[in-house]
Structure 1
Amino acid sequence: VVGGTDAQPGAWPWIVSIQDPWEIGTGHVCGGSLISPQWVLTAAHCFIEARHITMWRVVIGATQLTQLGPEAQVRNIRRLLVHEHYSNISERNDIALLELDQPVQCSYYIQLACVPDAWLRVSELTTCYISGWGSTTARSGGSTDVLQEAKVRLIDVNLCNSSQWYRGAIHTHNLCAGYPQGGIDTCQGDSGGPLMCKDNTYDHFWLVGVTSWGKGCARAKQPGVYTSTQHFYSWI
């Protein structure tokens, strides 16, 4: 996350770190969201070149990846379900599910995310956040040790698709979020993680998007692009 701040432990209790043991450092590759005790929602593009997926690990309840506290739980992946119409060229249907080898125990630090059905008016939600262990600067790749968070706004998809912005590359099942002027955005390593918006009436968050792609990070008129969870509710 570019332009974010350190998240407090337990702030986003459904966020997970998906890790490849053959990568350097913590092995963090992508984020994801726990939607049931044994299933994680994430992005399909995280697994384009993945091998030995059952050796990968999923860390739940973490804040600092190099120092997992007793509240963190680690699981392996039993199976990966990538959307059957995912395209890595157009990034259509960039959504995937991971089944964990064992269910996780919920706690103060580990909770399930709420996926909205067709009735929620997502476009009317005004208080939204992104979170992840991805790059904190647009130029450097890699991940960051302490979970980052930032407040963003949903951006009208028609504006996001306009000639000065993404020029028709945004699909009907995408959301755009960030700021017209840039400065705050998801970046490499945040993929698969959550775009979360607070309910307008009740005190809880909706998992409205899965971090998918963007042109660079935090550029003006090039906000983060997310897969709409509402659009894929029945698939999930």
Structure 2
Amino acid sequence: MKDGKGTYRCGADGAWEDILTLSRDLPVCVPDCALKRDTASSRIIGGRNAQLGQFPWQAHITTEDSRGAGVLLHDKWIITTARLLQEVDLSQVVIKLGTTSLREENYIQGEPGEVFIHKDYGNGTIDNDNDIGLIKLKNKIPIGENVQGICLPTKEAHFHISHRESDHHVGIVAGFGQTEMSRISSRLLFVEVDVVEQQTCREAYQKRYDRVVSENMICAGHAEGGRDTCTGDAGTALAFLDAKTNKWFIGGIASWGSNCGDKHYPGVYTRVSNYLDWIENIIKNN
């Protein structure tokens, strides 16, 4: 139940009613999200095989001319990058959930009904700024042990993400993208990445590629390199564990980068906390 309040009974006419108020307006039922499961420690690029149910929010998305990832929210919405959804033909979009192998036929398929791209994506002077989009599915996804939405953060301080040890500074990413062998993986892989100090990341990309890392972005990788998302991973979650609830929340969405696994140029992720109002408004009004 969304607000966690109320006690209900079956009324004389067979309808549910609130014991205190006699109201028949039932509360909204929101599926639970991303409870922590044992995750083997690993320090994609540099990844190891995921087990079924370890990343129950993971979605693999293919379009007419591209492939990437998405992240299940609740049971009818998927969050991903705007880039993957631009000018997409929904009849050509295939969404697979509840699997760790693209060679298996045992998966749950999500049927896209409508897509929403942030209105400021591609309209500014900064490449890949506001790289966020939502897919509304035609039907609800059956939630279970192996398929479950990830939690969204709130604006509370304890969800803050930075390179500082006092904040969420180590995240985990999973995907079917390109590996260090330069091949697309048929198995779901995962790896831990460290959040990189914003100014360090900004200066590296500005100096070498003349690209801007905005405040709408998070950089994550590893000081020695070799841990990263890569081609085919765009749209996957940079997930963090909330110690208060023992649940995973999505802090970032894999967006762009350079030279997968290069220690000087970490992966760049859309900072989800900057778009909470946008996400809420889209879902509420659609």
TM-score, normalised by the number of residues in structure 2: 0.74
* Deviation for aligned residue 1:49: 5.4
Alignment of 1:52-63 (within 5 A): 52-63=89-100
User: Paired residue for 2:256, among 213, 220, 223?
Assistant: 213
> For residue 166 of structure 1, what is the aligned residue in structure 2?
205
Inter-partner Cα distance in structure 2 for 1:5 and 1:109: 18
> For residue 19 of structure 2, what is the aligned residue in structure 1?
none
**Is residue 2:112 matched to residue 1:77?**
yes
User: Paired residue for 1:122, among 161, 164, 168?
Assistant: 161
* Deviation for aligned residue 1:212: 0.1
> For residue 184 of structure 1, what is the aligned residue in structure 2?
227
User: Paired residue for 2:197, among 147, 153, 156?
Assistant: 156
* Deviation for aligned residue 1:111: 0.7
Higher relative contact order (CA 8 A, sep 6+): 1
Q: Contact 2:56 / 2:149 at 8 angstroms: preserved in 1?
A: yes
User: Paired residue for 1:92, among 120, 126, 129?
Assistant: 129
* Deviation for aligned residue 1:84: 0.6
Per-residue displacement from partner, 1:131-151 (whole Å, max 9, x unpaired)? Answer: 10000127x36x311100001
* Deviation for aligned residue 1:206: 1.3
Identity %: 28
Greater Rg by CA: 2
Inter-partner Cα distance in structure 1 for 2:169 and 2:217: 17
Inter-partner Cα distance in structure 1 for 2:238 and 2:188: 14
* Deviation for aligned residue 1:126: 3.3
Give the RMSD, CA atoms, in angstroms. 1.8
> For residue 222 of structure 1, what is the aligned residue in structure 2?
265
> For residue 193 of structure 1, what is the aligned residue in structure 2?
236
> For residue 131 of structure 1, what is the aligned residue in structure 2?
174
Inter-partner Cα distance in structure 1 for 2:82 and 2:111: 18
Inter-partner Cα distance in structure 1 for 2:258 and 2:170: 24
Q: Contact 2:241 / 2:249 at 8 angstroms: preserved in 1?
A: yes
> For residue 66 of structure 1, what is the aligned residue in structure 2?
103
Larger helix fraction of residues: 2
Inter-partner Cα distance in structure 1 for 2:122 and 2:264: 24
Q: Count residues in correspondence.
A: 224
* Deviation for aligned residue 1:56: 1.1
Q: Which runs of no fewer than 5 residues in structure 2 stay unpaired?
A: 1-43, 280-286
Compare 59-68 and 4-13 and name the one that shifted more.
Answer: 59-68
Inter-partner Cα distance in structure 1 for 2:170 and 2:223: 16
* Deviation for aligned residue 1:199: 1.7
Inter-partner Cα distance in structure 1 for 2:75 and 2:243: 27
Q: Contact 1:55 / 1:76 at 8 angstroms: preserved in 2?
A: no
TM-score, normalised by the number of residues in structure 1: 0.89
* Deviation for aligned residue 1:182: 1.5
Please tell me the residue identity of whatever aligns with 1:181. E
* Deviation for aligned residue 1:180: 2.8
Inter-partner Cα distance in structure 2 for 1:234 and 1:102: 24
Per-residue displacement from partner, 1:12-40 (whole Å, max 9, x unpaired)? Answer: 100101123x56xxxx7110100121100
> For residue 46 of structure 1, what is the aligned residue in structure 2?
84
Please tell me the residue identity of whatever aligns with 2:189. Q
Q: Which runs of no fewer than 5 residues in structure 1 stay unpaired?
A: none
Inter-partner Cα distance in structure 2 for 1:228 and 1:100: 23
Q: Contact 2:239 / 2:248 at 8 angstroms: preserved in 1?
A: yes
> For residue 107 of structure 1, what is the aligned residue in structure 2?
144
Query: Match of 1:74, SS?
Result: strand
Inter-partner Cα distance in structure 1 for 2:190 and 2:253: 15
Please tell me the residue identity of whatever aligns with 1:38. K
Q: Contact 1:54 / 1:78 at 8 angstroms: preserved in 2?
A: no
Please tell me the residue identity of whatever aligns with 2:195. L
> For residue 144 of structure 1, what is the aligned residue in structure 2?
185
